[in-house]
Amino acid sequence: MAEMKFGGVTEQVMTREEFPLIRAKQVMAGETIAVLGYGVQGPGQALNLKDNGFKVIVGQRKGTSTWQKALNDGWVENETLFELDEACARGTILTFLLSDAGQIAAWPTVKKHLTKGKALCFSHGFGITFNEKTGIVPPSDVDVILVAPKGSGTSLRRLFQAGKGLNSSYAVHQNSTGKAYDRVLAMGIGIGSGYLFETSFRKEVYSDLTGERGVLMGAIAGVFEAQYNCLRRNGHSPSEAFNETVEELTQSLMPLVAENGMDWMYANCSTTAQRGALDWRHKFRKAVDPVFDELYASVVSGREAEIAIEAGRKPDYRAGLEKELTELRNSEIWQAGAQVRKLRP
């Protein structure tokens, strides 16, 4: 384990130096990794594992667009691509990457194939943490592990192909075989993680749901809209409002923050921008602190999970979702964004 120090906090993390790919392959010798689901995380994880030399098969419902995507990506029907039931039967490590709603629906199929000594691997703590709502309770004689990349499956794949890695958290919920920690670390290295930090299923889902609703998507979209609308109300053009709100942040500033940190960003901007940002930062933090406390409490209580599960069960959910996404797509800010992106050199 490598040590990372954050002020007065020391954290143990696993890197590729401490747990190299050759060791991961040794741990996985004789294992068949069945990647169940080929939607958001499935393609990136399955292809990275395959390219790293692991034995991988894909389980997906035949006749779907994701089945066709798997075929297009080089998986071969009845050789490396199977219906879900068959993939579960063949796999020794079942990597459960269906959506949360999909996991609930498929659980009876998956559970019957969880024979003694197998491992059930997740990339999200939702199903286990909220099992009173999902019904996902694995048998006691299998390992239950988690490897959660901190980003999209698309990013996981792109960074892997570029020779880089996306950091992941890992957790062991059940160590029936005594091999669960080796298995989970091997999976983490196999999918192309930059480094691995330990968590629990509960902490993973609490941080994940908070992040999705907060800074990663919900909060940032809301702040984008608020600033864009403010500029438009005060007579600024759509191009000016979008460039000052989104384009400069995503194309210029955030890559620098990712590379060097926000402290570096503050130190390397104009004195006018520096002074204003330092002052207003506190006002924005104080304004949103109560919102984040409310959000986190809603996540921990299970309310956010309940909302997601109930929404997914509605027969007209997909139609309603498409309506909401269309409204977002057609809003002026993102129509302006579509035009701005076309003009990028």
Q: Are residues 37 and 162 in the same domain?
A: yes
* Residue 250 DSSP one-character state: I
Claim to verify: residue 47 and residue 171 sit in the same structural domain: yes
Q: Are residues 56 and 184 in the same domain?
A: yes
Could you tell me if residue 206 is inside a domain? no
Residues 59 and 156 in one domain: yes
Point out the catalytic residue in the list 124, 173, 236, 282.
124
Total domains in the chain come to 2
- Listed in sequence order, the residues at least 6 apart from 157 whose beta carbon sits closer than 8 Å to its beta carbon are 43, 44, 47, 48
Residues 231, 236, 241, 244: is their CA dihedral positive or negative?
negative
Domain-located, residue 208 = no
Enclosing domain of residue 325:
214-342
Query: Is residue 193 in a domain?
Result: yes
Of 54, 131, 47, which is closest to residue 91 (Cα–Cα)?
54
State the distance between the two ends of the chain, measured CA to CA, in whole angstroms.
44
pTM: 0.91
- For residues 53 and 193, membership in a common domain is answered with yes
Q: Does 95 lie in the same domain as 124?
A: yes
Would 207 be classed as within a structural domain? no
pLDDT in tens, the chain (345 residues): 777 777 778 888 899 999 999 999 999 999 999 999 999 899 999 999 999 999 999 999 999 999 999 999 999 999 999 999 999 999 999 999 999 989 999 999 999 999 999 999 999 999 999 999 999 999 999 999 999 999 899 999 999 999 999 999 999 999 999 999 999 999 999 999 989 999 999 999 999 999 999 999 999 999 999 999 999 999 999 999 999 999 999 999 999 999 999 999 999 999 999 999 999 999 999 999 999 999 999 999 999 999 999 998 889 998 999 999 999 999 999 999 999 999 998
Assess whether 166 and 263 both reside in one domain. Answer: no
Give the three-state DSSP class for 79: coil
Please report whether residue 60 resides in a domain.
Answer: yes
Same structural domain, 34 and 172: yes
Other C-beta atoms lying within 10 Å of the C-beta of residue 194: 16
Same domain, 239 and 288: yes
Q: Which of 200, 227, 250 is the last residue in one of the domains?
A: 200
Strands ordered across the beta sheet of 9-15: 2-6, 9-15, 193-198, 166-174, 143-149, 119-122, 93-96, 33-36, 56-59, 81-82
Q: What's 110's domain CATH number?
A: 3.40.50.720
Residues 131 and 172 in one domain: yes
For residue 54, give the amino acid letter. Answer: F
| Count of beta carbons in the 10 Å neighbourhood of residue 249 | 16
Q: Is residue 92 in a domain?
A: yes
- The answer to the question of residue 209 being in a domain is no
Q: Is 282 a catalytic residue?
A: no
φ and ψ at residue 81, rounded to 5 degrees: -130, 125
Place of tokens 């309310």: 303
Rg of the chain over all Cα atoms, to the nearest angstrom: 22
- Judgement on whether residues 196 and 219 belong to the same structural domain of the protein: no
The last residue of a domain, from among 142, 175, 200:
200
